């Protein structure tokens, strides 16, 4: 995406600003979300804003609606990102973004989740592709070794050509997407309505209760897609009940069904 952005920005500025970017921004969001993101990014000059535009799941306008304090804390995130991105010894934003991915989502999200889930089952996980020598080599490689004509992981795919069937090498990326949107309307509905009851949300004082109530109604009754806002608020309030209020006690044997019926005061 960001390699494409760098190429897009090589187009004459007047052509981009007056014709291409406005055209891309008016494409239907459901079918052309990545193209719309490209248009939005093309207007940004701050590397932190460009990275956040790609990574965020809730935009600034929605954050202002959700949070009682507005989205002022986002500036602290931007400042930290600017420092991290500037520490990468390269002029390429794509290479800087890859470095940020290594330092942030890889370390604090993916590896943490793998370790927790494996340890819960008494399984030792190994990550051979994160051997420090391989990581250092990957960071030193020129970008054209990694991206070629829109294909990612180019040198990696080439290295395994003799070992992996062509249909697997050419297969598009396929992530794990749980049906969480439907869970909120079915099995987790009572949990959502209990944990995010207006009086509880107001008592914690972080999210706006009227906004949360409106989004829950829109998602469950009107069947609009408001998963990320509701899910973020739900997980935050469960964490708050468990670790701050101490009003919820969980143990390692608790199932999702038990959580739905848990006593959250």
Total domains present in the chain: 2
For 193, the domain range is: 180-260
Q: How far is CA 84 from CA 92, 98, 141, 154, 157, in A?
A: 14, 11, 20, 26, 29
Report long-range pairs for 80-86 (Cβ below 8 Å, ≥24 apart): 81/47, 81/48, 81/51, 81/52, 82/46, 82/47, 82/48, 85/47, 85/48, 85/51, 86/47
248 inside domain: yes
Residue 59, in any domain of the structure: no
What percent of the chain lies above the pLDDT cut of 70?
A: 76
Is the residue at 62 inside a domain?
no
Higher pLDDT, 54 or 103: 103
pLDDT of 30 = 46
- 184 in a domain, yes or no? yes
Q: What are phi and psi of 148, to 5 degrees?
A: -145, 115
Q: Is position 58 within any domain? A: no
If we measure between CA atoms, which residue out of 138, 167, 164 comes closest to residue 153?
A: 138
pLDDT band at 10 (very low <50, low <70, confident <90, very high): low
9 lies in a domain? Answer: yes
**How confident is the model at residue 194, as a pLDDT?**
93
Rounded to an integer, the average pLDDT of 134-144 is 89
Q: Over the stretch 63-121, which tens digit does the pLDDT of each residue have? A: 889 999 877 677 888 889 999 999 888 888 888 888 899 998 888 888 988 898 899 88
Is the residue at 207 inside a domain? yes
In a domain, 214, yes or no: yes
Measured CA to CA, the distance from residue 79 to residue 81 in angstroms comes to 5
pTM score of the predicted model: 0.72
User: Which H or E run includes 231?
Assistant: helix 227-239
pLDDT at 147 over 60: yes
Tens of pLDDT, residue by residue over 223-245, are: 999 999 999 999 999 999 999 99
Does residue 214 have a pLDDT over 50? yes
């Amino acid at each position: 995406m960001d390699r494409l952005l760098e190429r897009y920005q090589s187009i004459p500025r007047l052509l981009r600003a007056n014709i291409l970017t406005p055209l891309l921004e008016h494409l239907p969001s459901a079918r052309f979300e990545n193209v719309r993101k490209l248009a939005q990014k093309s207007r940004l000059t701050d590397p932190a804003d460009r990275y956040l535009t790609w990574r965020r799941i809730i935009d600034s306008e929605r954050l202002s609606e959700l949070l009682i304090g507005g989205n002022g804390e986002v500036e602290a995130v931007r400042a930290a990102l600017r420092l991290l991105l500037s520490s990468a010894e390269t002029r390429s934003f794509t290479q800087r973004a890859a470095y940020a991915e290594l330092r942030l989502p890889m370390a604090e999200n993916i590896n943490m989740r793998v370790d927790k889930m494996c340890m819960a089952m008494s399984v030792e996980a190994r990550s051979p592709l994160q051997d420090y020598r391989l990581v250092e080599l990957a960071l030193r490689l020129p970008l054209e070794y990694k991206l070629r004509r829109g294909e990612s992981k180019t040198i990696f795919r080439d290295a395994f050509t003799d070992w992996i069937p062509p249909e697997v090498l050419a297969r598009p990326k396929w992530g794990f997407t749980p049906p969480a949107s439907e869970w909120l309307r079915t099995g987790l509905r009572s949990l959502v309505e209990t944990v995010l009851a207006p009086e509880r949300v107001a008592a914690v004082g972080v999210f706006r209760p009227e906004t949360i109530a409106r989004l829950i109604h829109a998602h469950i009754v009107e069947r609009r897609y408001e998963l990320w806002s509701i899910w973020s608020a739900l997980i935050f309030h469960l964490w708050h009940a468990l670790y701050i209020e101490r009003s919820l006690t969980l143990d390692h044997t608790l199932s999702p069904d038990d959580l739905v019926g848990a006593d959250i005061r």
